[in-house]
């Protein structure tokens, strides 16, 4: 099993052809995803609404961040909104973005400070994890540990070698998967199989 197998898309989740109806659905769906992940945080929702209502303007105002992510086209409305969602949630401490090779210390440090950890009453114990493992294995461990609380560690797929992680309830994870699939995108959690 490879490093990223935990977050691979199933064939049904592969992005499909974009129709006008799908493009028109983006703002509402992105807002709904943001509301679930942020537990309705008004500051987050206002920023996401600004991003989805004027993606080109949002791109221009945050061009440096998009260029760090190798997005150079202000006309790529969907990518601007999807990455904008992540870039809004992260500073508000609802998600953390970790490189695939980050060590256990970074994994634990950034996860334990996420607002969802406290809201959901979840814990992390350093002795659950081995230094020699990686994020995909640590994520499986958390899914198993959090299962009694009906929670999991979810990931927003941004088509990169990083993980955008956040804790959520199992029911929320299912909602998020469905919403992301409506956009031809992927949110994964919990580990299956």
CA-CA distance, 45 to 187, in Å (whole number)?
19
pLDDT reported for residue 190: 82
Distances (CA, A) of 176 to 12, 148, 149: 15, 20, 18
Q: Which of 110, 48, 150, 108 is nearest to 62 (CA)?
A: 48
Strands 96-99 and 151-156: unpaired
Please check the confidence at residue 178 and state whether its pLDDT lies above 70. yes
Higher pLDDT among residues 14 and 36, named by residue: 36
Percent of the chain residues past pLDDT 90, beyond the cut: 82
CA-CA distance, 134 to 104, in Å (whole number)?
8
- Provide mean pLDDT across the span 150-156: 97
Q: List, for residues 31-43, the tens digit of each pLDDT value.
A: 999 999 999 999 9
């Amino acid at each position: 099993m490879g490093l990223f197998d935990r977050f691979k898309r199933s064939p049904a989740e592969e992005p499909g052809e974009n129709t006008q109806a799908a493009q028109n659905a983006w703002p509402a769906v992105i807002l709904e995803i943001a509301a679930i992940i942020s537990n309705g945080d008004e500051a987050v929702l206002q920023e996401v609404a600004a991003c989805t209502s004027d993606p080109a303007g949002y791109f221009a105002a945050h061009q440096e961040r998009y260029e760090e992510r190798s997005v150079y086209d202000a006309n790529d409305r969907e990518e601007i909104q999807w990455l904008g969602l992540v870039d809004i949630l992260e500073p508000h401490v609802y998600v953390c973005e970790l490189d695939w090779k980050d060590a256990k210390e970074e994994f634990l440090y950034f996860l334990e400070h996420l607002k969802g950890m406290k809201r959901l009453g979840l814990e992390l114990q350093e002795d659950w994890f081995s230094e020699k493992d990686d994020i995909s294995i640590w994520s499986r461990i958390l899914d198993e540990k959090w299962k009694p609380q009906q929670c999991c560690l979810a990931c927003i797929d941004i088509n990169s070698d990083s993980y955008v992680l956040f804790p959520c309830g199992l029911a929320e994870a299912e909602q998020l998967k469905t919403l992301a699939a409506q956009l031809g995108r992927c949110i994964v959690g919990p580990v299956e199989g």
